[in-house]
Structure 1
Amino acid sequence: MNQIDYEAFYNEVGASNGWDFSRLKCTSEEAKWDLYQEVVKLSRKSDLMLDIGTGGGEAILSIADCALLLVGIDLSTGMVDTAMKNITKAGRSNVRVLQMNADKLDFPGRFFQIVTCRHSAFNAQEAARVLEHGGLFLTQQVSENDKLNLKQAFGRGQAYGEKPGSLKERYIAELTEAGFTQIEAMEWNVTEFYETAEDLIFLLKHTPIIPNFGQQPEDFGRLEAFIKDHKSERGIATNAERFMIKAQR
């Protein structure tokens, strides 16, 4: 693709629903764990679960059988609207979604048995308040060195240049201060392969990996050079790095 083609596709995906990643063709090495698979293992059918930053609700809908009630919250009106449509389409009566700020959870104290948060900010004090004694908090977050070769190619990026592990350490400290115990952290770093240039552009346009991707004149040239240097038979290679924290109230 030449620069005109890249810009045309960039403009096309910019007008689309950027939170629907189902069209993105990407394969990866097997990760050691997945947040919501871990939730399924630890939950009981009688549990009430809160999911912070639930987005379009696809994740909690996929595990709706694991709990009595699953409540997702998101700050974005658009995400809440999408989630409500997805819930209606799925026909799940035990899944709810609300527009709410994670810094001020509008729920009674000790209301939930499980609180989860994937790739979204959370308030440890508020999570502790709404969890019953013995309840579980689980979060999966993006590590600083995620998509490292892309950030190096562009000279900028989400958490680029920050000390690896600093976000994990900050969250552990905040959870400890909020009164959580038995805090465990796990990490994984796997290679991802994006099938086409369009897939990679879609990712960059609809995530904060490269801030303001496409708005600098050099961006498409940098992307072309990156693809040339990292393309293989399996696709365009980069990495996904995540950490998970589990804690008990």
Structure 2
Amino acid sequence: MEIDFYNKVAEKFENYSTEVDMQKEFPGEDPEERFISELLQAADSRIEALDVGSRDGRFTLSVAPNFKKITAIETSDSMLETACKLQKETGITNVSFRKIDIFHNQYFSEIFGVIYSRRGPTDYLEFERLLVPGGKYIGIKVGEQDARAIKEIFGRGQNYGKWNEPVLKRDIKDLEDVWLTVSCAGEYLYTEYFKTSVDLSSYLEKVPIFEDYDPIKDRDNLARYIAEHKTEKGIALQRHRIVLVAEKS
């Protein structure tokens, strides 16, 4: 389960930092930068926002000064503990970290001006209910081709085998089905280059490409992947991201 995965990461590494010796190469713009740009354009000191799947809270706290208030919901106890600790260290007071499942929340309707999610859970019907008229949903999601080559070698992984089910097409339809108007829909393919096998292995322990990655049990699979994808720039890992913005009329 995803909750167990993030609890495990927080307990083993004390936070959700994925810092390793790795470089990213984009053929176009960086999807994370596009997401942040869209989020900050929608931000306002009068707006209350909902962060769905706030993880260790670092990103939430970094954008908090742009909003009146952010309610950050997360289901992992360990991640929430890390987030609250970081909040105390930063002294930022306009963020409320709460253990809430978006699929089983009890918020009143039409209370948030912005709802955003960074690869977190999505319930578009619920987002539509919670947004005020004119409010925006802004999200960055994992695409169906993400890390496909390494998943195929391992024979498992996040959304394994769903290569022919386009996330962008599906989510646009899902948003439109709940009467949210899509104003931005971007698809991004890029490459991450890891300096060493240790860097890649450490990274795989901290991200949910494989929720059950084990550096010992999976060493043969990893060695095979590295042999096939080692380049002059490093060990290549192909990534796929989707950025979406939709508005409630």
TM-score normalized by the length of structure 1:
0.86
Tell me what 1:244 maps to: 243
Match of 1:63, SS state, is: helix
Tell me what 2:24 maps to: 28
Q: Deviations over 1:139-198 (max 9, x none)?
A: 111011111221222232222221445333333232222221235311101111112212
- Please say which of residues 228-237 and 98-107 is displaced more in the overlay: 228-237
- Residue 232 (structure 2) pairs with residue 233 (structure 1): yes
Aligned pair in 2 of structure 1 residues 162, 181: CA closer, same or farther (>3 Å)?
Answer: same
Amino acid at match of 1:33: P
Contact 1:143-1:164 within 8 A present in 2 as well = no
Tell me what 2:192 maps to: 192
Task: Find the aligned partners of 2:37 and 2:181 in 1 and give their Cα distance.
Answer: 22
- Please say which of residues 75-84 and 132-141 is displaced more in the overlay: 75-84
Tell me what 1:213 maps to: 213
Task: Find the aligned partners of 1:199 and 1:145 in 2 and give their Cα distance.
Answer: 22
Tell me what 2:12 maps to: 16
Give the drift of 1:237. Answer: 0.8
Q: Deviations over 1:7-27 (max 9, x none)?
A: xxxxxx897227532532221
Match of 1:239, SS state, is: strand
Contact 1:143-1:165 within 8 A present in 2 as well = no
Tell me what 1:159 maps to: 159
1:114-133 maps to which residues of 2 (within 5 A)? 114-133=114-133
- Please say which of residues 233-242 and 16-25 is displaced more in the overlay: 16-25
Amino acid at match of 1:239: Q
Aligned length: 236
Give the drift of 1:215. Answer: 8.3
Aligned pair in 2 of structure 1 residues 154, 164: CA closer, same or farther (>3 Å)?
Answer: same
Match of 2:242, SS state, is: strand
Amino acid at match of 1:230: H
Match of 2:102, SS state, is: coil
Aligned-residue identity in percent: 26
Give the drift of 1:214. Answer: 2.7
Contact 2:115-2:127 within 8 A present in 1 as well = yes
The structure with the largest alpha-carbon Rg is 1
Task: Find the aligned partners of 1:101 and 1:242 in 2 and give their Cα distance.
Answer: 24
Segments of structure 1 that go 5 or more residues without pairing to the other structure are 1-12
Give the drift of 1:58. Answer: 0.9
Aligned pair in 2 of structure 1 residues 133, 119: CA closer, same or farther (>3 Å)?
Answer: same
Q: Deviations over 1:84-113 (max 9, x none)?
A: 111111110111111001113332211111
Aligned pair in 2 of structure 1 residues 216, 164: CA closer, same or farther (>3 Å)?
Answer: farther
Tell me what 1:74 maps to: 74
Give the drift of 1:32. Answer: 3.5
Task: Find the aligned partners of 1:55 and 1:189 in 2 and give their Cα distance.
Answer: 24
Aligned pair in 2 of structure 1 residues 214, 183: CA closer, same or farther (>3 Å)?
Answer: same
Amino acid at match of 1:237: A
Task: Find the aligned partners of 2:190 and 2:86 in 1 and give their Cα distance.
Answer: 30
Contact 1:136-1:246 within 8 A present in 2 as well = yes
Tell me what 2:4 maps to: none
